[in-house]
Amino acid sequence: MADQVMQITDDNFEGEVLKSETPALVDFWAAWCGPCRAIGPVVEELAGEYAGKVKVGKLNVDENPKTPGQYGIRAIPTLIVFKAGEVAEQITGAVSKDHLKAALDKAL
Amino acid sequence: MTAVDHDLAIIGAGPAGLTAGLYAARSRINTLLIERLSPGGQILNTDWVDNYPGFPEGVAGFELVDKMRAQVERFDLPIISSEVIQIVPGEGFFTILLPDRDLTARAVIIATGSVPRKLGVPGEEEYIGKGVSYCGTCDGPFFKEQTVAAVGGGDTACEEAVYLTRFARKVYLIHRRDQLRAQKIYQEKILANDRVEVVWDSVVERIEGGDKGVSGVGLKNVKTGKSSSLPVDGVFVWVGLTPTTKFCCDLVELNAQDFIVTDPEMATSRPGVFAAGDCRAKLLRQISTAVGDGATAAFAAERYLENLTHG
């Protein structure tokens, strides 16, 4: 399932996320963040379950500082649901899968 | 006896739950471990662990979690990823309500741990993720060469305040008393670090900010009653723990702070339900004490199950 999670970067963010035809979920993470490791598998599961309906991606904030800066992200994991180029929901911290599913279902 | 899915369900896969699982699996008890996220619990918020025996050089929080998980996997303990909504007692078994289905088990160990307690002041909720944080290892790197406030005076606050100096130019440790509660080794580190300045006898009254996030904290000196404003770019809060026990408040006795009351053998007020780790009312909440709780709870649950069968 992991291969359904797209690697989002500062370079492809606009094309893949803001201009995405479907809603997109982006997991802003870094290797040094423990809770990011806890939520990583949940994000991968969602990518499988919402395949074709929601684009699911991960953005490494260490390697891509520009995009998190644009959204004022100062804590990770931060998960943002984008719909038509706008922030539909922004979630900070490791939350349950049901919480994330509710946010995705709302954007669909 | 009624047919059940499992003999034992363990809720929460932090150090207490993983240890209970290890002991139960080695005793060949039909056990299921249920975890909301992925195994680890509060250790995942910890950069480095220096007070868990067996690691003379210390160990990274996530590495310790990986090792604990690998150890239970070696004994084939099944782990599922789900939240638990409620536990309903039956005759000699419990029904565990998950969001999408129900499970039954003859005995339950609650090892759901706790989460960082909030300050409960204006601006806190508003700026979570925008300068307000409860995890130094997660969010410290966002404050390179900036000024931050750390709130608290216990072990976690002192250890994390020192950790933040790796990134922040200046860390104000805001503490409501005139001396720290932390263990001496942490106090020494605080007082020796010239990037940390302790603001004594002070409480945070509000967190200030704007579009760009946190811009400062409003403080009150509890001795003089004087209010002041301190400009900071971030606020890290370490003022204790709130146990994750809401889902079982009707099932077992909680103390005034909502921690689960147990006897020394981890038995709660409800026969067949045991509690272990940070969610339990006890003196010291550490990985080392959670692990001990987990082992005792598994052993006590095993004895309970034997009595259920032969009693």
Would you place residue A3 in the very low, low, confident or very high pLDDT band (cuts 50, 70, 90)?
A: low
Contact B99, B82 (CB under 8 A): yes
In a domain, B1, yes or no: no
Q: Are B123 and B233 in the same domain?
A: yes
Q: Check B47, B135, B201, B258 and give the catalytic one.
A: B135
Q: Are B41 and B96 in the same domain?
A: yes
Q: Are B177 and B266 in the same domain?
A: no
Would you place residue A1 in the very low, low, confident or very high pLDDT band (cuts 50, 70, 90)?
A: very low
| DSSP summary character for residue B286 | -
Contact A42 B139 (CB under 8 A): no
Cα–Cα distance, B255 to B277 (Å, whole number):
15
pLDDT score, position B311:
63
pLDDT score, position A93:
87
Q: Could you please report the per-residue DSSP string of B247-285?
A: GGTTTS-B-TTSPBP--TT-B-SSTTEEE-GGGB--S--
Write down how long chain A is.
108
Sign of the dihedral defined by the CA atoms of residues A33, A34, A37, A40, in that order: negative
Per DSSP, the three-state class of A27 is: strand
Q: Which residues of A are catalytic?
A: 33, 36
Distance of CA A70 to the CA centre of its chain: 15
CATH label of the domain that carries residue B51: 3.50.50.60
Q: Are B60 and B128 in the same domain?
A: no
Q: Which of A34, A96, A98 sits opposite B137 (nearest CB)?
A: A34
Q: What is the 3-state secondary structure (H, E, C) of B93-158?
A: CEEEECCCCEEEEEEEEECCCEEECCCCCCCCCCCECCCEECCHHHHHHHHCCCEEEEECCCHHHH
Q: Are B85 and B104 in the same domain?
A: yes
Q: Are B14 and B59 in the same domain?
A: yes
pLDDT in tens, chain B (311 residues): 678 999 999 999 999 999 999 999 999 999 999 998 888 888 888 888 989 999 999 999 989 999 999 999 999 999 998 999 999 999 999 999 999 999 999 999 999 999 999 999 999 999 998 999 999 988 999 999 999 999 999 999 999 999 999 999 999 999 999 999 999 999 999 999 999 999 999 999 999 999 889 999 999 999 999 999 999 999 999 999 999 999 999 999 999 999 999 999 999 999 999 999 999 999 999 999 999 999 999 999 999 999 998 76
Number of domains in chain B: 2
Q: Are B224 and B132 in the same domain?
A: yes
pLDDT score, position B1:
63
Q: Are B275 and B208 in the same domain?
A: no
Contact B128 A75 (CB under 8 A): yes
Parent domain of B18: 6-115+241-310
pLDDT score, position A96:
85
Chain A residue numbers touching B133 (CB-CB < 8 A): 74-75
Q: Are B32 and B63 in the same domain?
A: yes
Chain B residue numbers touching A92 (CB-CB < 8 A): 128-129
Contact B46, B159 (CB under 8 A): no
Q: Are B104 and B135 in the same domain?
A: no
Tokens of B211: 């579009």
Contact B98, B267 (CB under 8 A): no
What pTM was estimated for this model as a whole?
Answer: 0.87
Chain B residue numbers touching A32 (CB-CB < 8 A): 47, 137-138, 141
Q: What is the ipTM of this complex?
A: 0.81
Q: Are B139 and B209 in the same domain?
A: yes
Contact B141 A32 (CB under 8 A): yes
Tokens of A30: 């870094």
Per DSSP, the three-state class of A55 is: strand
pLDDT score, position A6:
95
The percentage of residues in chain A with a pLDDT greater than 70, rounded to a whole number, is 97
Q: Are B28 and B46 in the same domain?
A: yes
Cα B167 to Cα A79, A82, B191, B244, distances in angstroms: 24, 31, 18, 31
In a domain, B282, yes or no: yes
